[in-house]
Amino acid sequence: MQFCCNICYNCNMHNSKYLESLKLNSLSNTAVRQLVFSVLSSNTQPLSMNELIAFCNKVDRVSVYRTIDIFEKIGIVSRINLGWKYKLELSDNFKEHHHHLSCNVCGAIVDFEEPETLNRELEKIALIKNFIVEQHALELRGTCIDCQIKQNTKQLLP
């Protein structure tokens, strides 16, 4: 897979890949679809549905929900499950394969790429269990550095 670069989330290459995905699924590019894609593409952080709706404020909620539904089905968007909530981001087709650390306190999400050694261990587990793995998801939850600092300063106060 080819990527323009790690930090560019909104370039022509991304957009042509997006148009290609629609075409492959015999879907046309509507103004709403283009807007939702551009919003997700220009945000480096995954967005909640409410945040996405706020960015697309000229579009009604139902259309945004419907668009995301289609995008998930045809592999443009991935859903990151955070307990009973979720956030949305462009799929691995647009970003390099990665996973997330998410903060239980403030909801911040930090990306990480797993080391090769971890992948080898996962392959071993699959082999032992006689399983053919097609994809995997790793989610690490806890407290981000900012929230740790806030909690520590709170504890120091009398």
Binding residues with Zn ion: total (CB under 5 A):
7
Residues 111, 98 contacting (CB under 8 angstroms): yes
Q: Which of 8, 106, 127, 149 binds Zn ion (CB under 5 A)?
A: 106
Question: Which of these segments, 4-12, 55-63, 70-78, 144-152, binds Zn ion (CB under 5 A)?
Answer: 144-152
In the chain, the amino acid numbered 77 is V
Per-residue interface string for the shown chain with Zn ion, residues 62-101, x marking contact by CB under 5 A: ----------------------------------------
Return phi, psi of residue 149, to 5°.
-65, -45
Beta strands in the chain (DSSP E): 77-82, 85-90, 99-103, 109-112, 139-142
Closest approach, Cβ 150 to Zn ion, in A, equals 8
Minimum distance of Zn ion from residue 102's CB (angstroms): 9
Structural contact between residues 84 and 49, judged by C-beta atoms closer than 8 angstroms: no
Distance CA 47, CA 101 (A): 15
Smallest distance, Zn ion to C-beta of residue 137, A:
8
Q: Which residues bind Zn ion (CB under 5 A)?
A: 103, 105-106, 108, 114, 144, 147
